Amino acid sequence: MNRRGGLTAIDGAMALIALLLVVQMWLLTATLEAYLSGHSEPIFPAALISGLIFVGCFGLFLFIRRIDANVRNRLYFGGYSQRENKLLTARKKGVESDADRG
C-alpha cells in the first residue's frame, strides 16, 4: 500500500471509530437516564453492546497501527517493508532465516 492509500484507509477507519463513539456516548446517556429513573432492564444489554463497540474500536485501532507500520516502514527502509527488508538482508547473507520461510 502506498502512502496516499494508507492515509485514506486510516481516515476511513478513524471515521468509523468516531461513528461508533457517538453510538456509545448515546448508549451511556440513555442507560444513565434509565438507571436514575429506576429502570434496570436496559442496563445489562447496554453494557454488553458498549463492550462490543469498544472491541470494534480497538480492532480498528489495531488496523490503523498495522497500516501505519507498513507504510512508514516503507518510508524508512527505502521502499521496502520491514518484512521485505529482513528477507533481502537474509538473502544477501545467504542465511536461511525464519522470515525467509514464512
* Minimum distance from residue 84 beta carbon to other proteins (Å): 12
Exposure b/e, 56-78, CB count within 10 A at least 16 = b: ebeebeebbeebeeebeebeebe
* Minimum distance from residue 60 beta carbon to other proteins (Å): 8
Where in 13-72 is the site for other proteins (CB under 8 A)? 13-14, 17-18, 20-21, 24-25, 27-28, 31-33, 35, 37-40, 43-44, 46-47, 50-51, 53-54, 57-58, 60-61, 64-65, 68-69, 71-72
Separation CA 19–CA 14 (nearest Å): 9
Phi, psi of 77 (to 5 degrees): -110, 40
* Contacts with 71 (C-beta within 8 Å, 6 or more apart), sequence order: 1, 2, 3, 6
- Contacts to other proteins by CB under 8 A: 3, 6-7, 10-11, 13-14, 17-18, 20-21, 24-25, 27-28, 31-33, 35, 37-40, 43-44, 46-47, 50-51, 53-54, 57-58, 60-61, 64-65, 68-69, 71-73, 75-77, 82, 85
